[in-house]
Structure 1
Amino acid sequence: MTHVALSIAGSEATGGAGAQTDLKTFHQLGTFGTVALTCIVSFDPSHDWAHRFVPIDPQVIRDQIEATTALHDIDTVKIGMLGTPTTIDAVARSLGERTFRHVVLDPVLICKGQEPGAALDTDNALKEKILPLATFVTPNHFESMALSGMDSITSVEDLTEAARRIHEISGAVVLAKGGVELDGDDAVDVFHDGEQTVELRSPKIGQERVSGAGCTLAAAVTAELAKGATPLEAARVAKDVVTSSIEHRQSGHAPFEAVYQGAYGR
């Protein structure tokens, strides 16, 4: 029987990120994917491709989680875009009512500074209610700074320190993503589980971030963990999958490109 994984994430209509990307990544790696949608996000082509965000009713989110976990034996879940404190509370309650072996958190932080308001409230709720439930966290460069409390990350050594701090705070395995943000020819991610620290490297493919890369990485980790891989094994496969998805990225009419998972392993 095929292993099953659950993605709790937002819908991104153009197919380059969010739940759509999670399902494609699960499928590519031979894991049966299910989804509980938390919000609907669509780019606005008339306003510089800004995000339009519509949250799903919290009870509907809980109903989706109830349905998929009742139908399938699921011990591995990936958490992506949540978006509001109310959504975070609903997801935290649903997670607390069930036992998962693996909870992979892609910690989508909204607030880019410390300005007050809804964005900061959402980020604080994520740190307070979801991060403690995670067993594996995949922060990007900015999220690594925010979660670790570091003012800057400019080197692999800094990224390693951030990964260690996040592990100490959360107890989770950490795969901190350097991507194109750090100098050098390689895109470097740092894996840290409290016992070992491993640098995962691949040559950079361009200097621009590609939409959906973070979703793909976390979803690939989730798929591999659902199949029984160790966290480090899952991280290595995820690095290969995201590298392939960037290499074979999909272009369109927006000023950014999106990942394509379908070429991996072919």
Structure 2
Amino acid sequence: MTENITAPRPAFTLTIAGSEATGGAGAQADLKTFQELNTYGMVALTCIVSFDPKDNWNHRFVPVEPQVIADQLEAIQTCYSGSLDTVKLGMMGSPATIDTVATALKSQSWKNIVLDPVLICKGQEPGHALDTDQALKSQLLPQATFVTPNHFEAEQLSGLSITNEAELIAAAKKIHEVSGAAVLAKGGVRIEGEDAIDVFYDGETLEVLREKKIGDLAVSGAGCSLAAAITAELAKGAAPLEAARTAKAFVTEGIRNRVAGQTPFDALWQGGRRN
């Protein structure tokens, strides 16, 4: 017999993403972010990614079979039918995966679909990566309600070169124009100046989010965690701009409390704000 529970139920958050074994990025980062922001996290794995220390820390990429992805999503969506309405899309890795995920998304209604448009996986064969990029743009981007491209992805999605704040703003507006989604275009450390800037635009509101840069190098997991934090806040009922502001602050503390390993880059710590 099921025990009667009167405690409030947490918001549900799902990530459809790849596994990154060292814990800094991917589904591991997403689940840790969901937990830190008090949501009930779930994951459907799309691929297994591991860094290769013998090959300049490029990725070793192994896709999950499409049927296995479909099975994971069937279980999740059936279990929480009527309750789960917020999802984050991370690393897909292949057109077959994108087709599987797009089909599953269309099987129910969603309030929030947050697309972190991972267009390149270091080490992927270029032609395969291009096919994946095109499938993502045609099948997932039109379903997204919020898009979080990094500097490179913003250039690819907008078709614009981005070297300064004004160009990042133009790119955010262009991506909204082609997708209809709210956009948080991330400049990070790649835009000159003392601030790490991200541009929010939803067709009506434009806001440049600023935090002082913490070092000059990108930190592993920052993009995943930012999109996951937005996902968590949206699931709890925040407006898109409010979610973006909270996510920016969350990631800034994670970068400030970064974790160092034997890699040439550090990893964001999702528990950083507890310091």
Is TM > 0.5 for Structure 1 vs Structure 2? yes
**Unaligned segments of structure 1, at least 5 residues:** none
Matches within 5 A, 1:143-162: 143-150=153-160, 152-162=161-171
Normalization by structure 2: what TM-score? 0.93
Deviation of the 1:263 alpha carbon: 2.3
Deviation of the 1:122 alpha carbon: 0.6
Distance in 1, matches of 2:202 and 2:10, equals: 27
Which shifted more, 102-111 or 234-243?
102-111
Deviation of the 1:221 alpha carbon: 0.1
Deviation of the 1:218 alpha carbon: 0.1
1:225 aligned residue: 234
Distance in 1, matches of 2:169 and 2:102, equals: 28
Matches within 5 A, 1:113-192: 117-150=127-160, 152-192=161-201
Mapped contact 1:192–1:198 kept (Cα < 8 A): yes
**Unaligned segments of structure 2, at least 5 residues:** 1-8
1:154 is paired with a residue of what secondary structure?
A: coil
**Structural RMSD (CA):** 1.3
> Does 2:35 correspond to 1:24?
no
Offset from partner CA, 1:38-82 (integer Å, 9 cap, x none): 000011122221110000010111111111121122100000000
Deviation of the 1:111 alpha carbon: 8.0
2:47 is paired with a residue of what secondary structure?
A: strand
Mapped contact 1:104–1:135 kept (Cα < 8 A): yes
1:89 aligned residue: 99
1:246 is paired with a residue of what secondary structure?
A: helix
> Does 2:83 correspond to 1:99?
no
2:5 aligned residue: none
Distance in 1, matches of 2:74 and 2:252, equals: 34
Offset from partner CA, 1:143-193 (integer Å, 9 cap, x none): 00100011x111111000000000000000000000000010000000000
Distance in 2, matches of 1:263 and 1:174, equals: 25
Runs of 4+ residues deviating >4 angstroms? none
Normalization by structure 1: what TM-score? 0.97
Identity %: 63
